Each structure stands twice: as C-alpha cells, then as structure tokens.
Amino acid sequence: MAGEKILIVDDDKNICELLRLYLAKEGYAVTLAYDGEAAFDAFEREKPNLVLLDVMMPKMDGWEVCRKIREKGNTPVIMLTAKGETFDKVLGLELGADDYVVKPFDTKEVVARIKAVLRRCAPAEETREGLITYDNLSVDLARYELKVKGKTVDAPPKELELLYYLASHPNRVFTRDQLLDEVWGFEYYGDSRTIDVHVKRLREKLEGASDEWSLKTVWGVGYKFEVKD
C-alpha cells in the first residue's frame, strides 16, 4: 500500500505529527489538517486514499466532514474519538465510516487498521470483479451500485457491502459479530445494533423484489441471504 495518500485530521497537532511519522515510515504520503474546514479543503485538493478523522474539532466536526466526504464518493474513513466521549457508532456507520479508533490508542494498531481498511477497499476500486446477480437483483461492488428489478437503488457503501457479503455466501448464517468483523473490521469496537439497522434498511429497499431469495433473520443467531432451491 506504500505511496498511497493518507489525510490525518485532528486538532491535536502532537497526535497528527506522531501518526505522520509512523505512516511516513510505512511509505505513505501524509497530509495533515487541524480543523474540519481545512480537512475538507485538503480532501478535495489531495484526493487521499483514506481519511483518519477526529470527531470533535473546531469549525466543522468529524460527523459533518464525513457526511461531506460521502457526498463526494467512497473514500475510506476511520473515525478517531477520545475515550469517554459520547460516540454514536450507529450514526457514524450510517454516515459511511469504515472503522473506529478510540484514544488513547496504540500507534501501531492505527497503522494496522489503516492497512486493513485499504486492503478491504482495494478490490472494489481496482477490478471489475465483484458482481453478484440473482433474480431481479444486481450487487456491483466495483461500481458500488445496487439494482433491484433493473432500477438503480441508492444504498450507502456499508449497506451495499453487507448485502454483497451475505449474497456471496447464500444460505450461510452469520452472527452479528461475524458480520461486523467481515464487513467493518470491528474486532474491538463493534456494536451489533449496527447490523440490525442496515438489514432493516436493506429489506425496505428489497421488498417484493423476488420470491427466489430473501434476507432472513435466524432468531438467536443472526442473518442469512436465503436462496430457494
């Protein structure tokens, strides 16, 4: 992943500099910003491959910056939050955040998470593979496009990735924690309510599309993409 651009956004300049040093050693090109407005300006100017984004910042908070980034596309976003801050993980996920890191953090862990998120996102950006089709359903992870009955349906990146993952393993049951790990990579900070929120929204968009498949709840366990024989 060396050579890719990382935008670090935090009003604590010491944190920014520490992360910059570690990431530069790994071969990344790093840009720093210390408030929300400067962050979005840098995002549009530098077009980074990933944004490491603090939640509480002057001028524009991390939620708003994440929202504006998502309006522009699917650039991966990892949120930073201080321990003890009220942090709505579900809201962040709905806005399209890809992962979270809680301060104080281990710098090596942050670098590892950045690498993991970039790995997860790379196939969708670099190849036309990643297309799954069923009756009246097309999930295209390369284009981040969902089609139901031939019509394009708006879906946030994580909704689409969750549906793609489930549909890639038809009739296999996954727990909520498994889905968090596989789709979001939340090995430590995952909130299982997130899955319920996304499945509910997907069901609304897929309702009545086909009798040959469905998103099923397996009570006491989790979810599966059920395909009829």
More confident residue, 67 or 88: 67
Round to whole Å and give the CA distance between 155 and 174: 21
> Which residues have CB under 8 Å from 60's CB, separation 6+?
35, 36, 37, 39, 40
Position 3 confidence tier, pLDDT thresholds 50, 70, 90:
low
**In the 3-class helix/strand/coil scheme, how is 133-197 assigned residue by residue?**
EECCEEEECCCCEEEECCEEECCCHHHHHHHHHHHHCCCCCEEHHHHHHHHHCCCCCCCCHHHHH
Q: If you average pLDDT over residues 167-195, what whole number do you get? A: 80
pLDDT for position 126: 39
pLDDT for position 96: 72
Round to whole Å and give the CA distance between 159 and 157: 6
> Would you identify the CATH topology of the domain 132-227?
Arc Repressor Mutant, subunit A (1.10.10)
Q: If you average pLDDT over residues 196-212, what whole number do you get? A: 93
Position 59 confidence tier, pLDDT thresholds 50, 70, 90:
confident
Position 1 confidence tier, pLDDT thresholds 50, 70, 90:
very low
What are the sequence ranges of the domains in the chain?
5-125, 132-227
Position 116 confidence tier, pLDDT thresholds 50, 70, 90:
confident
Position 177 confidence tier, pLDDT thresholds 50, 70, 90:
confident
> DSSP states of 22-34 as a string?
HHHHTT-EEEEES
**pTM, rounded to two decimals:** 0.55
pLDDT for position 9: 94
Mean pLDDT of the chain: 84
Across 107-116, 124-133, 195-204, which has the greatest mean pLDDT? 195-204
Angle between helices 193-206 and 157-168 (to 10 degrees): 80
Measured in Å, how far apart are the chain's first and last C-alpha atoms?
A: 42
Counting Cβ atoms within 10 Å, is residue 120 exposed (0-12), middle (13-18) or buried (19+)?
A: middle
Q: If you average pLDDT over residues 200-213, what whole number do you get? A: 93
5-125, superfamily in CATH? Response regulator (3.40.50.2300)
